Amino acid sequence: MDLGTANSLVFVRGEGIVVFEPSVVAVDDRTGEVQAVGADASRMIGRTPASIRAIRPLRHGVIADFEMTEQMLRYFIRKGGGGRLPLAQVVLCVPSGITKVEREAVQEATLAAGARAVYLVEEPMAAAIGAGLPVAEPRGSMIVDIGGGTTEVAVISLGGIVSSQSIKVGGYEMDEAVAKHVQGHYGLLIGEETAEQAKLDAGSAWELAEELECQVGGRDLQSGMLRRLELGSEELRNALDAPVQRIVTAVKDTLEGTPPELAADISDRGIVLAGGGTLLRGIDQRIRSETGLEVARAESPLTCVVLGAGESLNELETLKRARPGRGRKARGRRFHQLRSVYAVAPISTDMDAPCVLPRERASHPGDERFPAKPS
Ligand SMILES: Nc1ncnc2c1ncn2[C@@H]1O[C@H](COP(=O)(O)OP(=O)(O)O)[C@@H](O)[C@H]1O
Ligand SMILES: [Mg+2]
């Protein structure tokens, strides 16, 4: 599962992607009750009765409201399980900004939703696997994942993240920049969905062969009346420049902090882009021009994290099948397999730490399927 700041996806082995919905929860403020989750809740944004509020609990890559996150996670996992609970194993990708305590809490919530074991994967690692990068090889690969609330830049080699950066700038900040521009220049107040639509219709990070136009509608700040407005792609590009530049700077900073040998690999093979934000027109060209490196978009930027998580399920199986044989050769083999599993679950880099796989299921009083473990 990919628990993203903008979209959450669930991939079930043998079935493919079964859930792809916005990470939104609609809550009734009077009762605190969750009214809807995902696509249903998203439809309520900006159109809700006064007491119903639609929130994005992970908006800035940190958990703003843990209870909401937990309910959302539970909903998606149940939906992904399609009634065949409990799901045996869940590989979960969360934004790297969340704290260790929150990570553990998210794991607990996944178990409580019916999973028998849960493994956490660093998002850039899953993105890299999903994009088909050779993460286990002793060669440096760079992945740039531009999501809704965050951008994660990482250099990966030998199954581990060698250097990385996570900034709280992504698609949402681009939308905000558009809204701010329209308000500042035209005195027109537009909603976040309208701003996002303008970005999708005509936004870019590099000069276009053919410049575009789009329309936005909002409320005139002076008259209070509804008004529509044409926006050109050049002015949108200017409006988007600040968040785009912050992303490019994060890429350059990460390159600077990369050991020379790995940096040489990256300059040979280039940078791979993942995440919905990389669908912005010309962002690849912009990064290419500012770094001087080759840049390629992953085949499916919106789904590559969950596909990578799905692929890592296979790695877990490999480890489980591995017999704890004796002798150097067997140890070497196990080490190699462990390495690749740690690649998918690098909560700890200590090879002996047992905390990584799998977490014991929390006991559920009264549920004989999950008896409490004798302490
Ligand atoms: N064609 C597009 N052009 C620009 N931005 C896009 C496009 N499609 C999606 N996005 C943006 O991608 C972001 C969501 O990307 P996603 O990878 O799903 O985020 P997350 O992983 O944080 O949930 C949103 O901000 C959305 O506006
Ligand atoms: Mg993501």
| 209 contacts: CB under 8 Å, gap ≥ 6 | none
Q: Based on the domain organization, do 274 and 244 belong to the same domain?
A: yes
Answer whether 0.75 is exceeded by the pTM.
yes
Q: Which residues surround ligand 2, an ion (CB under 5 A)?
A: 4, 147, 305
Same domain for 216 and 85: no
- Residue nearest atom 12 in ligand 1 by C-alpha distance: 276
Strand partners, 227: 218
What is the full DSSP assignment across 128-191?
HHHTT--TTSSS-EEEEEE-SS-EEEEEEETTEEEEEEEES-SHHHHHHHHHHHHHHHH-EE--
**Pair 288, 148 in one domain:** yes
Which ligand 1 atom minimizes the distance to the CA of 8? 23
Per-residue pLDDT reduced to its tens digit, 256-276: 999 999 999 999 999 999 999
330-346 pLDDT tens trace: 444 444 443 444 444 43
Per-residue pLDDT at 20 exceeds 80: yes
- The residues that bridge with 161 in the sheet, in sequence order, are 156
Asked whether residue 312 is assigned to any structural domain, the reply reads yes
User: What pLDDT was estimated at residue 364?
Assistant: 34
Is there a single domain that holds both residue 252 and residue 318?
Answer: no
**Domain co-membership, 145 together with 274:** yes
Question: What are the φ/ψ torsions at residue 262 (nearest 5 degrees)?
Answer: -70, -35
Ligand 1 pocket mutation, candidates 9, 144, 199, criterion most atoms within 8 A of CB: 199
Residue 350 lies in a domain: yes
Which protein residue's CA is at the shortest distance from atom 10 of ligand 1? Answer: 276
What is the tally of structural domains in the chain?
2
Of all ligands present, the nearest one to the C-alpha of 243 is 1
277 lines ligand 1 (CB under 6 A): yes
| Averaged pLDDT for residues 101-130 | 88
The candidate with the shortest Cα–Cα distance to 256, out of 337, 189, 163, is 163
* Pairing between β-strand 141-146 and β-strand 271-274 as defined by DSSP bridges: parallel
281 and 141 in a common domain: yes
- The CATH number linked to 172 is 3.30.420.40
What is the Cβ-side half-sphere exposure of residue 345, based on CA atoms within 13 angstroms?
A: 28
Distance of CA 121 from the midpoint of ligand 2 (Å): 12
Domain that holds residue 244: 136-297
